[in-house]
Amino acid sequence: MRVELNPVRYWRHDLSHCLHNTAGVLLDHHGLDPVEALGAAWGFHYPGDVRREEYYLPGASEDLFAGLAPFHRVSSRWHHPADAEQGWSQVRERLIAGEVVAVAADNFHLPFRPAFQDVHTNHLLAVHGFDDEREEVLVADPTPPSFQGPIPLAGFRAARDSGNPVVHERDRFFTSNPIGNRWLEVTVGADQPEFTPGFVGHVIEANLRGLLEPSTPGTSGLSGLRAFLDRFRGGPRPATGSSDEAFVVIGPLLATTGLHAEFLARAGRVLGDRGLTELARTVDGVAHEWSALRIAVANARTPVDGEGVRTRARRVVAAYEGAAALMERVPVPA
């Protein structure tokens, strides 16, 4: 038997990683625009739930897609098969039913990944078909170097059943967390919001409230951001945050910020609004500050310390504050 679901297209943003890339592939398959869905929400939220997964999203362990696109009617839930046999059987059934599936996998066993037979890591990619006779699986992975096509079923199953161990010093950040044959069931509802001035205005107002008036000030909004970065930017007490934690947490924040800048830039073009274009450039600047800080903590010792890290952390906070101030001044589309 052979199943190949179409259309399945590449989608990625320059600052995104496997979580947003895979979500973009699945949402596009369901007819949603990835930038409009994944780029709407922006702010800060980190309840301390860090997980050693490349597809980690703070505060959204149970429903990744609702966390990625809270302004749209999308949701997801993890399935945890008992073993590799059940894991493949469940995914195969969903493909036969016409659903593209997101699966966790260890790059060590994926022949198209640069980490093949070298580095273990906890990755996410989309599966859109299989060929029983050839013993192949069809995968779509836009994360560079980007690949879409068949791979051996044996390697695919090994990647999904991997214990994801730490073998050498290059196995950092996304290891020590068994893959467990996990896969995501994604639900996309009808009557999705249209990209109208009213929707854009609603998004901006909600994001601004989240920054200035968070429901959990210690872990969300500008106050939560300051509390998180205070652990790395020094002060009267020594730094306490680990480089692994900071690197993992900053990843999705960087991706979300870059995507929101793209969302605002599109809104500025579509609505002919220069204020939104200016806001997009400002949020894009926040993304670049996140990028610089992530590089700094990746090369820092644990606990994270050093003037370079402290300077970059202060610049992230200042960039957020500047963006929030501009959001307050820009006329909200109606």
pLDDT digits (tens, 9 = 90+) for 51-97: 989 999 999 988 999 999 999 999 999 999 999 999 999 999 999 99
Residue-level pLDDT at 178: 93
pLDDT at res. 239: 59
Asked if 49 and 59 count as a contact pair (C-beta separation under 8 A), the reply is yes
Supply the pLDDT for residue 61. Answer: 85
Cα(2)–Cα(286) distance, integer angstroms: 46
Residues 85-94 pLDDT 10s: 999 999 999 9
Cβ proximity of 262 and 39 under 8 Å: yes
Sign, Cα dihedral of 151, 156, 159, 162: negative
Task: State what percent of residues in the chain have pLDDT above 90.
Answer: 80
Distance, CA of 1 to CA of 258 (rounded, Å): 41
pLDDT by residue (tens digit) across 7-37?
898 899 999 999 999 999 999 999 999 999 9
Average pLDDT, the chain: 92
Range with lowest mean pLDDT among 115-119, 130-134, 172-176, 266-270: 172-176
**Which band of pLDDT confidence, cut at 50, 70 and 90, is reported for residue 150?**
very high
Whether the predicted pLDDT of 259 surpasses 70? yes
pLDDT digits (tens, 9 = 90+) for 179-204: 999 999 999 999 999 999 999 999 99
pLDDT at 166 over 70: no
The strand pair at 183-188 and 147-152 is best described as unpaired
Q: Are 329 and 208 in contact (CB under 8 A)?
A: no
Place of tokens 């990843």: 251
DSSP 72-93: SSEEEEEE--SSHHHHHHHHHH
Q: How confident is the model at residue 175 (pLDDT cuts 50, 70, 90)?
A: confident
- Among 296, 291, 251, 294, residue whose Cα is nearest residue 124: 251
Angle between helix 197-212 and helix 221-230 axes, rounded to 10 deg: 50
Provide the residue type at 177 as one letter. N
